[in-house]
C-alpha cells in the first residue's frame, strides 16, 4: 500500500498538530491540545481562578508549567489594588508556582525576557494580547479566566484548527517608521475583525529585517486584527534574542517551525513597506488609521509611551531619537512607563533614559498603567492623548469623553514636542535610531 | 437559565462593541454590582439604569472585541441580560460567554431587528421573532453547549458532572 502523501501544513497547523499529538491537522477540525505553558497576570489570574479551583476542589495539573506576572495593579494605589496583589503573592506561594515575576513589568514582555518562551511551544495567556508570543514562533493566544481554570486543572484546551491569513510585507521601512505604523496600516486595511479569530502569519523580507521587539509589536496587535494568533517563523534573529536572555542553545530549536512552501493559506494580503508613511489611529479604533499628516495640528494634552505594545527598549530608543536636545511643549505632558524593569535598566545603561528625562518626560512605574485605565496617568473628561499603546476604545484610558490617538513612539514623541500631532520625520533629519 | 422560548425587550448597539465599554477599566477592581452600573455607559448611559432582567442585547459585527476580561460577560449577566445576538462575535468574548452561561447566538441579520422590539427567542430552534411576526434565523448552538449555558456555564456544568459521578460511584 502506498504511503499517504505528506500533507503540506502552514506554521499554525504544524504548531497545533504537535500540541494535539497529531501528524497533521486541517483547518476547521476541533482538536484538544496539551498546553506547554500557561501565563496569568494579577487581574485575570489568581483572584479569579482561585475561587473556581476551590469550588471544584481541584489542583493545578503542573505548577512548573505556570508563570504568574503581576502587572495590572502595580504598584498598588489603594486598598483594593493592594489586596489583589497580596492575594496574588499568597496564592502563588500556596500553589507551589516558582515562576512568579512580581512588579517586574508587563507580562507579554517579561515572559520572553525571562526566557520562558521557545519556538514550537503551545501557550495560553490570561490576556488578550497573548498573541505577542507568536513573534517567537510559539502558538500563543488569550483566554478568559474560566478557560484558564480549565487549563490549570487539565493541562489541555480545545480549539478549532485555524485557517492561516498571510500578511506579506516587502521593501524597506524608511527612517522614522516602525512596526507600529505597519500594524496600524494593516488594521486600516483589514478592519478589527479581519483576522476572523484565525491565525495570522506575518512574512516577507520586511519582517525578516525587523528586530525582535518590533516583531513583538506586530504579533501583539494581531489581537486588534481579531486574530487568535499572530505568528512569525523563527529565524536567526529569534535565536539571537533567546540566547541573549539565557535560553540554552540546545533548547531553542527553531529549525522545523516554518510553513511548508506548498501549504494553503486562506487569504494573502500584500503590503509595501517603502510606500508606508507614519500612521495615526484616530479615536476610537485602531482601524481608524491614516497617515499622520492628516491629523497634523490636532492639539494634545498628554502623550503616553507605555504598554506591552509600545514601551520596549526599541520603543524608548525611537522616542529618544526625536526627543534628543528637544523639550516637551508647554501645556503638554509626556508620560513614559517602560514595559519592564529590564527595559528601564537597559535604557539607563545606554543613555536613552537621560535623553527622555532631560526632554521633560515623566517616568512612570513599569506596568499596564494608563493603557487600560487601571493605573496612574488616566485622562480627564474631554482630554486628548496620543499613545504608543494598542487600543484607543472610547473611555479605555480614563473618562468617557476623553480621546486617544495611537501612533509609533516616534510619532508620540514628536507630538509631545510640538504639542500637536506631526509627521515625526520632520524632527528626524538624520534618520531613525532604532 | 431555562432554554425554553422567552420574550425580552431589545437593546440595540452597532459594530465593534468592545470589552472596555462593557467593563470599563476604571471599575475593574470594584465589586461586580458596581462595575455593572457602568456597563456600556460610554455608548448608552441609559442602558445600565434601565435594562431589565430578561432583556436582549442586539449587537453588530465583532461584538465583544478587545480584552479577555470575563467581566465583560459578567456585567451583562449581572444586569440580567438574557441573550446577545450579533452577526459576528470576537473570539475570546464568545468562548467566555458560553463558559459563563450567557446565551450568545450568531444572527446574520441581527442589525435589522428594531431597537425596543419585544423579541421572542427560542434558543433550541435558534430563531427569534418580533411582536410584528418578523423572524430572524440564528446559527444553532450544539446541544452540549446549550446544555452548558442552561446550567449556568462551565463551572456549574463541571460541578454537576462531578456530583453525578459521585452518585454513580456511591451506588456501586
Contacts of B61 in chain A (CB under 8 A): 193
The residues of chain A scoring below 70 in pLDDT are: 1-5, 430-434
> Is the distance from CB of A382 to CB of A399 less than 8 angstroms?
yes
Q: How many CA atoms lie within 13 A of A88 on its CB side?
A: 26
Tell whether B1 is covered by a domain. Answer: no
- In angstroms, the CA B79 to CA A172 distance is 51
- Residue A433: the pLDDT is 42
Tell whether B55 is covered by a domain. Answer: yes
> Is the distance from CB of A273 to CB of A182 less than 8 angstroms?
yes
- Which tens digit of pLDDT belongs to each residue from A385-411? 999 999 999 999 999 999 999 999 999
Of the candidates A27, A48, A71, A136, the one whose C-alpha atom is nearest the C-alpha of residue A367 is A71
Tell whether B136 is covered by a domain. Answer: yes
Contacts of A48 in chain B (CB under 8 A): 70
Tell whether B72 is covered by a domain. Answer: yes
Q: Which of A81, A226, A373 sits opposite B24 (nearest CB)?
A: A373
Contacts of B153 in chain A (CB under 8 A): 146
- Residue A430: the pLDDT is 56
ipTM: 0.94
> Is the distance from CB of A229 to CB of A11 less than 8 angstroms?
no
The residues of chain B scoring below 50 in pLDDT are: none
- Residue A51: the pLDDT is 97
A378 to B65: CB separation less than 8 angstroms, yes or no: no
B66 to A56: CB separation less than 8 angstroms, yes or no: no
On whether any CB of chain B is under 8 Å from the CB of A145, the answer is yes
Tell whether B96 is covered by a domain. Answer: yes
Radius of gyration of chain B (CA): 16
Closest residue in A to B23 (Cα) is A396
B16 to A146: CB separation less than 8 angstroms, yes or no: no
CA distance B8 to chain A (A): 27
H helices of A228-311, in order, are: 236-244, 307-310
- Which tens digit of pLDDT belongs to each residue from A72-104? 999 999 999 999 999 999 999 999 999 999 999
On whether any CB of chain A is under 8 Å from the CB of B101, the answer is no
Tell whether B134 is covered by a domain. Answer: yes
What domain range is B143 assigned to? Answer: 6-171
On whether any CB of chain B is under 8 Å from the CB of A369, the answer is no
Tell whether B143 is covered by a domain. Answer: yes
Contacts of A107 in chain B (CB under 8 A): none
- In angstroms, the CA A2 to CA A151 distance is 40
Query: For the whole model, what pTM was predicted?
Result: 0.96
The total number of structural domains in chain B stands at 1
- Residue B158: the pLDDT is 86
A193 to B162: CB separation less than 8 angstroms, yes or no: no
> What CATH number is associated with residue B24?
3.20.19.10
- Residue B171: the pLDDT is 84
Tell whether B34 is covered by a domain. Answer: yes
Show the CA angle centred on residue A111, arms to residues A107 and A117, nearest 5°: 145
Amino acid at each position: 500500500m502506498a504511503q499517504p502523501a505528506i500533507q503540506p501544513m502552514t506554521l499554525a497547523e504544524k504548531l497545533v498538530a504537535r500540541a494535539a499529538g497529531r501528524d497533521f491537522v486541517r483547518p476547521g477540525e476541533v482538536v484538544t491540545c496539551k498546553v506547554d505553558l500557561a501565563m496569568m497576570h494579577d487581574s485575570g489570574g489568581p483572584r479569579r481562578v482561585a475561587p473556581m479551583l476551590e469550588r471544584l476542589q481541584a489542583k493545578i495539573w503542573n505548577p512548573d508549567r505556570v508563570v504568574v506576572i503581576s502587572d495590572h495593579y502595580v504598584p498598588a494605589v489603594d486598598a483594593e489594588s493592594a489586596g489583589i496583589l497580596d492575594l496574588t503573592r499568597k496564592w502563588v506561594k500556596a500553589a507551589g508556582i516558582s515562576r512568579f515575576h512580581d512588579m517586574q513589568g508587563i507580562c507579554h514582555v517579561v515572559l520572553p525576557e525571562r526566557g520562558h518562551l521557545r519556538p514550537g511551544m503551545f501557550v495560553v495567556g490570561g490576556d488578550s494580547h497573548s498573541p505577542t508570543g507568536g513573534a517567537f514562533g510559539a502558538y500563543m493566544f488569550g483566554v478568559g479566566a474560566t478557560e484558564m481554570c480549565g487549563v490549570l486543572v487539565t493541562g489541555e484546551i480545545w480549539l478549532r484548527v485555524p485557517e492561516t491569513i498571510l500578511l506579506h510585507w516587502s521593501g524597506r521601512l524608511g527612517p522614522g517608521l516602525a512596526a507600529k505604523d505597519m500594524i496600524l496600516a494593516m488594521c486600516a486595511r483589514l478592519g478589527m475583525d479581519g483576522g476572523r479569530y484565525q491565525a495570522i502569519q506575518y512574512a516577507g523580507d520586511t519582517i525578516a529585517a525587523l528586530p525582535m521587539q518590533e516583531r513583538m509589536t506586530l504579533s501583539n496587535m494581531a489581537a486588534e486584527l481579531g486574530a487568535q494568533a499572530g505568528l512569525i517563523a523563527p529565524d536567526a534573529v529569534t535565536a539571537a534574542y533567546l540566547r541573549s536572555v539565557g535560553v540554552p542553545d540546545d533548547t531553542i530549536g527553531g529549525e522545523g517551525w516554518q510553513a511548508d512552501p506548498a501549504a494553503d493559506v486562506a487569504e494573502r494580503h500584500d503590503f509595501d513597506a517603502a510606500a508606508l508613511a507614519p500612521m495615526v489611529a484616530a479615536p476610537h479604533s485602531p482601524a481608524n488609521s491614516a497617515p499622520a499628516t492628516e491629523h497634523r495640528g490636532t492639539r494634545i494634552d498628554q502623550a503616553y509611551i507605555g504598554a506591552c505594545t509600545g514601551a520596549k527598549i526599541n520603543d524608548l530608543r525611537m522616542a529618544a531619537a526625536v526627543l534628543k536636545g528637544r523639550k516637551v511643549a508647554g501645556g503638554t505632558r509626556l508620560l513614559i512607563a517602560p514595559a519592564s524593569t529590564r527595559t528601564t535598566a537597559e535604557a539607563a545603561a545606554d543613555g536613552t533614559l537621560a535623553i527622555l528625562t532631560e526632554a521633560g518626560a515623566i517616568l512612570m512605574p513599569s506596568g499596564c498603567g494608563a493603557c487600560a485605565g487601571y493605573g496612574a496617568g488616566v485622562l480627564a473628561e474631554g482630554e486628548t492623548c496620543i499613545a504608543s499603546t494598542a487600543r484607543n476604545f472610547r473611555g479605555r484610558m480614563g473618562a468617557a469623553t476623553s480621546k486617544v490617538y495611537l501612533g509609533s513612539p516616534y510619532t508620540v514623541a514628536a507630538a509631545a514636542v510640538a504639542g500637536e500631532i506631526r509627521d515625526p520625520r520632520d524632527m528626524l533629519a538624520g534618520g531613525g535610531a532604532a | 437559565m431555562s432554554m425554553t422560548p422567552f420574550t425580552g425587550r431589545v437593546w440595540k448597539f452597532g459594530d465593534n462593541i468592545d470589552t472596555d465599554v462593557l467593563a470599563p477599566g476604571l471599575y475593574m477592581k470594584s465589586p461586580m454590582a458596581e462595575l455593572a452600573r457602568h456597563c456600556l455607559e460610554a455608548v448608552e448611559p441609559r442602558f445600565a439604569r434601565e435594562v431589565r432582567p430578561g432583556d436582549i442585547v442586539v449587537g453588530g459585527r465583532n461584538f465583544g472585541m478587545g480584552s479577555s476580561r470575563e467581566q465583560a460577560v459578567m456585567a451583562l449577566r449581572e444586569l440580567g441580560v438574557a441573550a446577545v445576538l450579533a452577526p459576528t462575535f470576537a473570539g475570546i468574548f464568545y468562548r467566555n460567554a458560553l463558559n459563563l452561561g450567557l446565551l450568545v447566538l450568531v444572527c446574520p441579520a441581527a442589525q435589522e431587528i428594531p431597537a425596543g422590539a419585544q423579541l421572542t427567542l427560542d434558543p433550541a430552534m435558534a430563531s427569534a421573532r418580533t411582536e410584528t411576526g418578523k423572524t430572524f434565523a440564528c446559527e444553532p448552538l450544539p446541544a452540549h453547549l446549550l446544555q452548558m449555558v442552561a446550567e449556568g456555564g462551565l463551572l456549574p456544568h463541571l460541578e454537576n458532572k462531578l456530583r453525578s459521578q459521585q452518585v454513580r460511584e456511591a451506588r456501586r
